[in-house]
Each structure stands twice: as C-alpha cells, then as structure tokens.
C-alpha cells in the first residue's frame, strides 16, 4: 500500500524522523489561500497523488504569498498527472534549501533482505543518476536479522561522500529512517530530496512510502488513513475489501489465482487482440467466497464488457471455483455481461460439470488459457459492435 506525501511525512513524524514543518491539506483554492495566510509567506503548494513526476507536470509550486497560493492551487487541482487526477494539495511552509541529497531503504527481493541507497545527488531521478554517474549512488544490502547499527550507517554515509559538516546528522537521520522502516513493516521509505537547510538542519523535503499489505493487522491506523487518499475509486474500494486489484484501460475483466498466472493472462489476452480492464489476483488458496466477491467486484466495473476467470487448480480446487462463480452470479442477480471461465488442474472436470449443469445464460467455459482468451476477445468485440450500432 502506497502513501501520499503528506501521509508519509506524518508517519515520519511519528518515528521522530526530521521533516519539513507540518502542512495541511486543501481541496479548494479558497482553503489553500486560507492555509497560506495562516502559515505566512512563503509556502509550497504540492499535488497529492500516488505517482512521481509531480514537479515536471506542474504539480509543485512555490508561492510568495496567499494570493499566489490560491492561484497555484486552482491550477493544480484537477490536473492530470500520469493518469492520476489531483483532488487535494498539501500547503506547507517553504524550506530554505542549501543542498539536496537522496536516501532510501527498500525491501530487495533479489537479496531477500533490505537495501539502502544513498547519494549526494538528490532532487532528480535516482535512476538517471545511477545511469550517468553510478559512482555517486551507493547501494548497501542489509540483513534484517542483524539490522543496522551506527557503524553501518556511518559507513554508508561516508561511502556516499556526504559533506563532512553533515555526516553526523545524516547518520542519525538514516538510523531513524531505518527504525521507522522496520517498525512500520514498510517495503519502501524514500526521501528525495533529503535537504540541508540554510541553518544546517537535515530534513525530509518529500516522502515516498509503501507498507506491506500483509502487515495491515498491525497498522490499521496507517491503512485507514491511506484509504482516504486518491487513486481510481475501484482501486480504493478494492483496498477496503482486501483485493489485489489494479485498474487498467480495457474492456475485458481479468481474474486468476496467482499473480504470475494473472500477468500471463493479461499478456495472452493482449496477444490475441484484446484489452484487459484490470488485474485481479484471487490468491493461490482462494475460497469459494473470495472467488465470488472478486468476480462480483470486477463485473461491477462499467468498463467491463466481458470477464475472463482463469484458474489453474492446485491449492484452489476447480469445483470450489465453480461454486464461487455461481455464488457471484447469485450476488449479481444474474449475468448482464458475458463471463468466460477457464478451469484446469485439480478437480477441473467436476468444476466444469457444475457449471454446465447450472445452465446459466452468458456463462461460457474453456479448458485452456488461449481458448479462454480467444473466446473473451471475440465476445468483447461483439459487445463493442452491438454498442456502436
């Protein structure tokens, strides 16, 4: 689960990680002007969306007074940044910046541990710095069972060649960042830029935070706050339901059991000429109830003309999936759109028998993934042609 900048900074403050003076959220130009008057000039007005590139898109503005804050908020609210519409802005006192750096801690699937990335080149895309000047980017793997002591933090900071006058302060910052990262069950704590202010303080000017969804039961306060953030309404609702869902721009709804199978399904649908409308992983051990909820959720999307459910039975038995499909249809009060169900693997024949005997209109079965994809694409094309007439 990703946090917006203001939510990430609030989390930093809870862990005593130095950051900019606390701002407030505005959803209208009038609110931004009022907040700016309260803070006093100058202020920053910053788009709050779950994507990068806000500055380049015009979503971050320096404002010398409240009138300018209002004008900039009016320009930013409603702005589309990489497919994310800005619905709120953070208004906070502007910081006097002397230097900009970069620090992040992330979960590294390759090393199966944590990785710290540090650079004195902050405020720009770290990927570009790594490509053009890799010697300026330090990457250090950490063993989670051993953690990070002061000596390790200092070695990282010195290897990254932070200026001598800020070394101790950056070491202290990195130590707090690590403690907060672990305590929050995070998969990413990124600060870009980490700044040295003109009076010598080291603070986070920005935040990019992701929390492991599996740790929700330990951090309900963080998750409940994050769910009020932006993003597509269906993605927000999916998070509330605990569904692994991503909205896409096509018209064929996709659900499978296992992220790898779902990604393969997206590829196969695209290869045979279709456009997936979403990614939904029902999980490797999905129950009939969770299958029913997932199917009903995908079919609630008005963009979906046809849905493809692709199941390879292992832990998930195909007869349970079949009952889940029928449960979803009951939840929906019938099928208004075509539903293609591919069942293969454990108890596949029994699952197909259950669906066949139900004899439900608009329900189509398939035994192989390509067959299911081709049927879904053909049905989606028919639906589009009918809508055009």
What's the rounded Cα separation, in Å, for the pair 161 and 241?
46
For residue 294, the SS3 value is helix
Residues, the chain = 389
What's the rounded Cα separation, in Å, for the pair 88 and 366?
45
Which tokens is 199 given?
A: 């009076």
What's the rounded Cα separation, in Å, for the pair 314 and 165?
59
Report whether 382 contacts 340 (CB < 8 A).
no
How would you class 112 by CB atoms within 10 Å of its CB: exposed for 0-12, middle for 13-18, buried for 19 or more? exposed
What's the rounded Cα separation, in Å, for the pair 323 and 321?
5
- Name the pairing type of β-strands 252-256 and 306-313: parallel
For residue 136, whether the previous peptide bond is cis, meaning omega lies within 30 degrees of 0, is no
Residue 6: active-site member: no
Residue 122: partners with Cβ closer than 8 Å, 6 or more residues away: 100, 101, 102, 192, 193, 194, 195
Nearest CA to 99 among 130, 121, 129, 128? Answer: 121
What's the rounded Cα separation, in Å, for the pair 36 and 31?
9
Residue 8: partners with Cβ closer than 8 Å, 6 or more residues away: 207, 208, 209
Catalytic member of 190, 293, 337, 374: 190
Q: Other C-beta atoms within 10 Å of 64: how many?
A: 12
Catalytic member of 6, 102, 114, 245: 102
Give the residue carrying structure tokens 């998070």: 239
Residue 102: active-site member: yes
What's the rounded Cα separation, in Å, for the pair 310 and 351?
13
Active site residues per annotation: 102, 190
């Amino acid at each position: 689960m990703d946090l917006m900048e203001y939510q990430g900074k609030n989390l930093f403050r809870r862990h005593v990680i130095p950051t900019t003076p606390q701002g407030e959220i505005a959803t209208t130009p009038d609110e931004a002007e009022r907040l700016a008057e309260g803070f006093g000039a100058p202020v920053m007005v910053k788009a709050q969306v779950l994507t990068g590139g806000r500055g380049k898109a015009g979503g971050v503005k320096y404002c010398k007074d409240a009138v300018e804050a209002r004008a900039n908020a009016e320009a930013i609210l409603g702005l589309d940044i990489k497919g994310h519409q800005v619905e709120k802005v953070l208004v906070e006192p502007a910081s006097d910046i002397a230097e900009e750096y970069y620090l992040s801690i992330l979960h590294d699937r390759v090393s199966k541990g944590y990785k710290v990335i540090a650079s004195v080149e902050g405020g720009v895309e770290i990927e570009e710095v790594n490509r053009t000047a890799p010697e300026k980017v330090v990457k250090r793997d950490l063993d989670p069972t051993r953690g990070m002591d002061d000596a390790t933090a200092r070695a990282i900071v010195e290897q990254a060649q932070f200026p001598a006058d800020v070394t101790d302060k950056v070491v202290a910052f990195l130590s707090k960042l690590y403690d907060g990262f672990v305590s929050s069950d995070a998969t990413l704590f990124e600060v870009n830029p980490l700044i040295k202010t003109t009076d010598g303080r080291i603070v986070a000017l920005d935040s990019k935070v992701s929390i492991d969804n599996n740790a929700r039961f330990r951090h309900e306060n963080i998750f409940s706050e994050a769910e009020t953030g932006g993003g597509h309404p269906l993605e927000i609702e999916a998070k509330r339901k605990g569904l692994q869902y991503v909205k896409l721009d096509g018209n064929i709804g996709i659900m499978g059991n296992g992220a790898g199978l779902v990604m393969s399904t997206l590829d196969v649908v695209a290869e045979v000429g279709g456009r997936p409308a979403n990614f939904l992983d029902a999980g490797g051990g999905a129950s009939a109830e969770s299958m029913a909820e997932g199917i009903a959720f995908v079919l609630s999307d008005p963009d979906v003309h046809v849905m493809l459910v692709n199941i390879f039975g292992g832990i998930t038995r195909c007869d349970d999936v079949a009952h889940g499909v029928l449960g979803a249809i009951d939840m929906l009060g019938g099928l208004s759109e075509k539903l293609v169900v591919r069942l293969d693997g454990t108890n596949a024949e029994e699952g197909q028998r259950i669906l066949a005997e139900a004899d439900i209109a608009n329900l189509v079965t398939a035994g192989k993934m390509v067959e299911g994809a081709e049927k879904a694409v053909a049905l989606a094309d028919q639906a589009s042609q009918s809508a055009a007439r």
